[in-house]
């Protein structure tokens, strides 16, 4: 499968995405735990069906020491016992922040309050930015049919 557009070869895409990807790198330094970032990025990508991002975030998480059991259970996190209450709050936040057309209101007050029990204001800001960023990246990849499977951990960071 070939992508419809090669972001690295196209000058217009390259010019804009250079800044976009630097924002993605900056997310790594935000005060949200790295494991939570990868779980959230993975869940958003699963919901959106972005294969290249699923490939990337499962491999990045595994390289950082995440277990196969937890990675395999992200899609069914509500029924899984392997996630902390804080991670569960972040995953619920990620789902509602991604499924805005389904919920119409975005993140509900209940889900926001649950996340706020576990994360301070800076971490909540990081969570909002991460969910928004991942939704944008998913769309960039899905629209252009970027192929998945060849990602190597650290390739874009």
Task: Identify the band that residue 2 occupies on the pLDDT scale cut at 50, 70 and 90.
Answer: confident
CB 64 within 8 A of CB 39: no
Q: pTM of the prediction?
A: 0.92
pLDDT in tens, 26-66: 888 989 999 999 999 999 999 999 999 999 999 999 998 99
pLDDT above 80 for 103:
no
CB 144 within 8 A of CB 3: yes
pLDDT in tens, 118-143: 999 999 999 999 999 999 999 999 99
CB 42 within 8 A of CB 58: yes
- DSSP letter string over 19-77? HHHHHHHHHTTSSS-HHHHHHHHHHHHHHHT-HHHHHHHHHHHHHTT--HHHHHHGGGG
Query: Could you give the CA distance from residue 104 to residue 37 in angstroms, rounded to a whole number?
Result: 24
CB 96 within 8 A of CB 106: yes
């Amino acid at each position: 499968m070939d992508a419809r557009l090669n972001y690295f070869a196209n000058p217009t895409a390259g010019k804009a995405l250079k800044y976009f990807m630097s924002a993605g790198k900056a997310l790594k330094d935000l005060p949200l735990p790295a494991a939570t970032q990868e779980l959230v990025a993975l869940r958003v990508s699963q919901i959106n069906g972005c294969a290249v991002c699923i490939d990337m975030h499962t491999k990045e998480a595994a390289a950082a020491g995440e277990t196969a059991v937890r990675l395999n259970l992200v899609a069914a996190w509500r029924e899984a016992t392997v996630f902390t209450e804080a991670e569960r709050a972040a995953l619920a936040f990620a789902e509602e922040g991604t499924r805005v057309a389904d919920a119409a209101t975005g993140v509900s007050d209940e889900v926001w309050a649950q996340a706020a029990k576990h994360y301070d204001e800076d971490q909540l800001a990081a969570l909002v930015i991460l969910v928004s960023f991942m939704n944008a990246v998913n769309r960039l990849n899905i629209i252009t049919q970027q192929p998945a499977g060849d990602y190597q951990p650290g390739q874009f960071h």
